[in-house]
């Protein structure tokens, strides 16, 4: 079973960010997940545009930029101009008056359009946008902080999205409280990728190469 692993860079060691990126790259991470928060859409500040630009210079792997900011349409050009073709930008539809317009700007810039949906956002609320996005990032915790517990009632959301997926052209990704048992349960169902942070990847005694290899060896 093939699945993608995205490193949640808000959990990285910022005193050694360059080495962190190089080590993760060499260890076989598939992409780098960058959470940008404005302190308004979510009650926290996380990574910045400068962090994004720095990581972009350190790796050729794809970047996934998760914008947890109000009205991303106002500043989307700052992010699209800092990325390479094929990188991804996720927006939260609740943060925008007309999210489809912002998604079109992402598409026009040659990037991959994605939406992130909060635990309290229904599939029905975003169903029309599924026709234009390529990725759906399902938040299994409330956005804003790392290290939260998984909300078990979200399984029905994955089931609905997986049923819709076969009639459209989007892939489903997991973000938040990603443990090994969640990968072994949801990857075979069709979830394509998992954002890994403090639960599985960062702060462990083993190297990134050893940790990533052990995740990929999980049996299904």
25 is catalytic: no
Which residue reads 């990325």 in tokens? 83
- Cβ neighbour number for residue 21 with a 10 Å cutoff: 22
CB environment 32-53: b (16+ within 10 A), e (fewer): bbbbbbbeebbeeebbeeebbe
Distance CA 150, CA 142 (A): 9
How far out from the chain centre does Cα 126 lie?
17
Q: Look at strands 171-175 and 193-196 and give their pairing.
A: parallel
- Residue in 51, 87, 171, 175 annotated catalytic: 175
The set of residues, in sequence order, having a beta carbon less than 8 Å from that of 36 and lying 6+ positions away, is 46, 47, 48, 49, 52, 65, 66, 67, 68, 69, 79
Integer Cα distance of 183 and 4 in angstroms: 10
Q: Where are the alpha helices (DSSP H) in 28-154?
A: 49-58, 76-80, 99-108, 123-126
Which entry of 35, 51, 87, 171 is annotated as an active-site residue?
35
181 is catalytic: no
Q: Which residues are catalytic?
A: 35, 175
């Amino acid at each position: 079973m093939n699945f993608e692993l995205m490193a949640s860079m808000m959990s990285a060691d910022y005193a050694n960010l360059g080495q962190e990126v190089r080590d993760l790259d060499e260890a076989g991470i598939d992409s780098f997940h960058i959470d940008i928060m404005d302190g308004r859409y979510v009650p926290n500040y996380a990574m910045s545009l400068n962090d994004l630009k720095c990581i972009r210079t350190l790796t050729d792997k794809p970047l996934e930029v998760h914008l947890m900011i109000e009205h991303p349409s106002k500043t989307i050009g700052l992010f699209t101009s800092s990325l390479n073709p094929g990188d991804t930008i996720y927006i939260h539809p609740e943060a925008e008056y007309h999210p489809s317009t912002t998604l079109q700007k992402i598409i026009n810039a040659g990037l991959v359009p994605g939406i992130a949906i909060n635990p309290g956002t229904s599939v029905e609320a975003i169903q029309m946008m599924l026709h234009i996005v390529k990725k759906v990032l399902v938040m299994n915790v409330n956005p804003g902080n790392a290290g939260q517990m998984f909300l078990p009632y979200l399984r029905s959301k994955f089931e609905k999205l997986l049923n819709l997926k076969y009639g459209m052209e989007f892939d489903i990704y997991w973000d938040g409280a990603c443990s090994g048992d969640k990968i072994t349960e949801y990857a075979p169902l069709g979830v394509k990728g998992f954002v890994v942070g403090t639960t599985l990847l960062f702060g462990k005694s083993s190297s990134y190469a050893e940790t990533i290899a052990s995740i990929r060896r999980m049996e299904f």
